[in-house]
Amino acid sequence: LRPPTVIGQFHTLFFGSIRMFFLGVLGFAVYGNEALHFSCDPDKREVNLFCYNQFRPITPQVFWALQLVIVLVPGAFFHLYAACKSIKQEDILQKSSYTGFYIFSVFLRIVLEVVAFWLQIQLFGFKVNAVYMCDVGALDKKFNFTRCMVPEHFEKTIFLIAMYTFTVITVILCVAEIFEISCRRLGFLKTQ
């Protein structure tokens, strides 16, 4: 069962293919070796690990993978429901209960994307700086702060902006899909 709207089908293609490919291939290339090349002054394993964990409470790849999985859940539930009830694609836009359930799943995707967008801002910001000031007071060091060098900070900043852009595009597509469904239900657009 594919999505009942053209926008929904494009969203599936965009979300399923482009976004996952971008994250899987380029995300690993940009962030895959970050912990190994993160170095602090003094360059000791204990300090580097402590500061890296402070710098990245969750790695961006793990966060974005969780975001993708969580955002897929509402659509997966709808498709599971549709498969169990043997709902045909054309019935989704013609029966109010199916349409309502489908719109709810799209709305839930929007909410989850917005929450993920907010969390990404809280965790990563919009820019990765070249230097991170680490609070090493818990390690009983002479100094409370130490400088750490963040590898490929410019590439990471570009990737962050790209992931924000993907989230915004996904939200726009979901809003457009709800609008398309509403227009079809009100008779402004012909059903496919």
Please report, for the domain that includes residue 39, its CATH number: 1.20.1440.80
Residue 32 lies in a domain: yes
Average pLDDT over residues 162-177: 93
Residue 57 lies in a domain: yes
| Backbone angles phi and psi of 134, in degrees to 5 | -100, 135
**Has residue 189 been placed in a domain?**
no
Q: Is residue 11 part of a domain?
A: yes
Tell me the pLDDT tens digit for each residue of 9-24.
888 787 778 888 888 8
Residue 191 lies in a domain: no
Residue 94 lies in domain: 6-182
Per-residue pLDDT tens digits for 120-140? 999 999 999 999 999 988 877
Q: Is residue 187 part of a domain?
A: no
pTM of the model: 0.85
Pairwise CA distance, residues 123 & 60, whole Å: 9
pLDDT above 70: residue 141: no
- % residues pLDDT > 70 (the chain): 96
Which has more pLDDT, 15 or 34?
A: 34
| Domain total in the chain | 1
State the chain's mean pLDDT as an integer: 88
